[in-house]
Amino acid sequence: MDIRQRLKQVIVEDLNLEETTPDQIRDDEALFGEGIGLDSLDAVELVVVIKKRFGVEIKDMSEGRKAFASIDSLARFHRERMQA
């Protein structure tokens, strides 16, 4: 499965987005605020989920802010970490 699709699935399932399906999330859509509507508690949960599911660690807030902008940015962050 494509990494973007996997990320969407994990976000929907692990953050219990009961009214959203993975297909409804656009690759460039903002994950927080006006986009998908995730909040600060989701951000902390997402750090845990990304580490647990993908083995990638997000070490600080500035790194997280960049990575969590959208599915595209999260996929890019994942790729960079796997290549490093």
Report the distance separating Cα 4 and Cα 62, nearest Å.
Answer: 22
Helix boundaries (H) for 1-83? 3-14, 40-54, 61-67, 71-83
Query: For other proteins, which residue of 18, 33, 34, 59 counts as binding (CB under 8 A)?
Result: 18
To other proteins, the closest distance from the beta carbon of 59 in angstroms equals: 12
Interactions with other proteins, residue window 21-60 (CB under 8 A): 37, 41, 44-45, 47-48, 51-52
Measured in Å, how far apart are the chain's first and last C-alpha atoms? 22
Residues forming beta bridges with residue 38, ordered by sequence position: 32
Q: Does 3 bind other proteins (CB under 8 A)?
A: no
To other proteins, the closest distance from the beta carbon of 58 in angstroms equals: 11
- The residues binding other proteins (CB under 8 A) are 15-19, 37, 41, 44-45, 47-48, 51-52
